[in-house]
Structure 1
Amino acid sequence: MKERGLLIVLSGPSGVGKGTVRKALFSQTDIKLHYSISMTTRKPREGEVDGVDYFFKSREEFESLIAQSKLLEWAEFVGNYYGTPVDYVEKTLQEGKDVFLEIEVQGAMQVRKAFPEGLFIFLMPPSLTELENRITTRGTESNEVINNRMNAARQEIEMMNAYDYVVENDEVELACERIKAIVTAEHCRRDRIANRYRKMLEVE
């Protein structure tokens, strides 16, 4: 029987750069993580591709999946739904592969309840001023939406205590290296690998 994979959850306030860090991480040739694409009802941003960055769904489609319990987690954030398809995650973990989720804070709390053994990483901005600059320079949101996102970000940062690790996103490449170091360390944790070595001793 294969050792079960590790569920890695990257989360943090809106605008902190979760998507940018995830793309940079997965562009590296030594990465062996399997990205679980989230679903959302928000409109695609310029350059985003359906089935690559997100599965873009209508509200009706999304609510149907909620009713069928086909989502590991879901949340409504600034007027849009976000969620994670459950079947892909469970299948990949059972195959012994690590699954990487990049999700909003509300969703991460749901995953925490369903998968308490997961690895939860909170991505932090260097400062709230820098976070506001990042949201503003997107050029895709109105002032009202920006204010809503900043208010939500302050509330989300207060939920940091629910995570195992905090990574500052001061520079994308540095953030990626910190995440990789955390994943390597988690795979070496005694409580994750003890059963494998007990079985080895039993065989001998």
Structure 2
Amino acid sequence: MAAPRPVVISGPSGAGKSMLLNKLMKEYKDVFGFSVSHTTRSPRPGEENGKDYHFVTRDTMKSAIDNGEFLEHAEFSGNMYGTSKAAVQDIQAKNRICILDIDMQGVKNIKGTDLNPIYVSIQPPSISVLETRLRDRRTESEESLQQRLHAAQKDLEISKEPGLFDVIIVNDNLEGAYGQLKDALCEEITKAKKVDSSCPELFADSPFKTHIRV
């Protein structure tokens, strides 16, 4: 049986990626491993170094990038973000499905590698809903919030490019979106668990199955 493919999940802040990933990791804690990204931004309240992000200095990250240690990297709102090769390799060495949570620029960078992941886009029902979710967090300044909304609008347009994503999930209902995510990853979950599960039945009645091209 072939090894399970990694999973690239992308979507604007506020689309619900973290909630969906937390549910996935809780249900399949021995199947998935989360690739922890690096960033030069400061931790937000409650965030832990090495768990939410690897928080590093700009000089440290630039040096690692120059040394070819990153699969992808990007800059947003004056901060650098990226996925190191070591972070992915650590997960794969445990025979787990590696999850990469990256932005649109990172998605395009990964397309130029031989990683061969499944590409999943998590999207809000609308920009207005996204704005409400971001404001409810109370973690952004008005300037930062407007930057995120502008970037989200651009990303949603880019996500329409044919072949960029294998799966597009509009998260207007958490449980429904989670079911669609499990549908899309069922085959890889089966590989990781090394059992002949009844996963195909997940696809049978899925209203989202026409979007799955993996």
TM-score (norm 2): 0.79
What one-letter code is carried by the residue in structure 1 that aligns with 2:31?
K
Q: Which residue number corresponds to residue 82 of structure 1?
A: 81
Does the Cα contact within 8 Å between 1:65 and 1:71 map onto a contact in 2? yes
What one-letter code is carried by the residue in structure 2 that aligns with 1:27?
K
Are 2:39 and 1:40 equivalent residues in the alignment? yes
Cα distance in 1 for partners of 2:143, 2:87 equals 36
Aligned ranges for residues 155-174 of structure 1 at < 5 Å? Answer: 155-160=154-159, 161=161, 162-174=164-176
Gaps of 5+ in 2: 191-214
Q: Which residue number corresponds to residue 97 of structure 1?
A: 96
* Matched residue count: 188
SS for the counterpart of 2:74 is strand
Residues 54 and 91 of structure 1, relative CA distance in 2, 3 Å threshold: closer
Does the Cα contact within 8 Å between 1:6 and 1:97 map onto a contact in 2? no
Are 2:174 and 1:175 equivalent residues in the alignment? no
Using the TM superposition, give the Cα deviation of residue 112 of structure 1 relative to its aligned residue in structure 2, in angstroms: 1.8
CA-to-partner distance for each residue in 1:9-46, whole Å, 9 max, x for gaps?
A: 11012321222222222122566111111111111111
Using the TM superposition, give the Cα deviation of residue 122 of structure 1 relative to its aligned residue in structure 2, in angstroms: 0.3
Using the TM superposition, give the Cα deviation of residue 52 of structure 1 relative to its aligned residue in structure 2, in angstroms: 0.9
Using the TM superposition, give the Cα deviation of residue 94 of structure 1 relative to its aligned residue in structure 2, in angstroms: 6.1
Does the Cα contact within 8 Å between 1:25 and 1:31 map onto a contact in 2? no
Cα distance in 1 for partners of 2:187, 2:28 equals 19
Q: Which residue number corresponds to residue 63 of structure 1?
A: 62
Question: Aligned-pair RMSD on alpha carbons?
Answer: 2.2
CA-to-partner distance for each residue in 1:120-151, whole Å, 9 max, x for gaps?
A: 00001011111011111221211111111111
Cα distance in 2 for partners of 1:174, 1:103 equals 22
Cα distance in 2 for partners of 1:28, 1:187 equals 11
Cα distance in 1 for partners of 2:93, 2:74 equals 25
Aligned ranges for residues 108-123 of structure 1 at < 5 Å? Answer: 108-115=107-114, 117-123=116-122
SS for the counterpart of 2:169 is strand
Does the Cα contact within 8 Å between 2:6 and 2:115 map onto a contact in 1? no
SS for the counterpart of 1:63 is helix
Residues 115 and 134 of structure 1, relative CA distance in 2, 3 Å threshold: farther
Are 2:186 and 1:184 equivalent residues in the alignment? yes
Using the TM superposition, give the Cα deviation of residue 119 of structure 1 relative to its aligned residue in structure 2, in angstroms: 0.2
Cα distance in 1 for partners of 2:151, 2:19 equals 20
If you compute each CA radius of gyration, which structure gives the higher value, 1 or 2?
1
Gaps of 5+ in 1: 189-204
Q: Which residue number corresponds to residue 192 of structure 1?
A: none
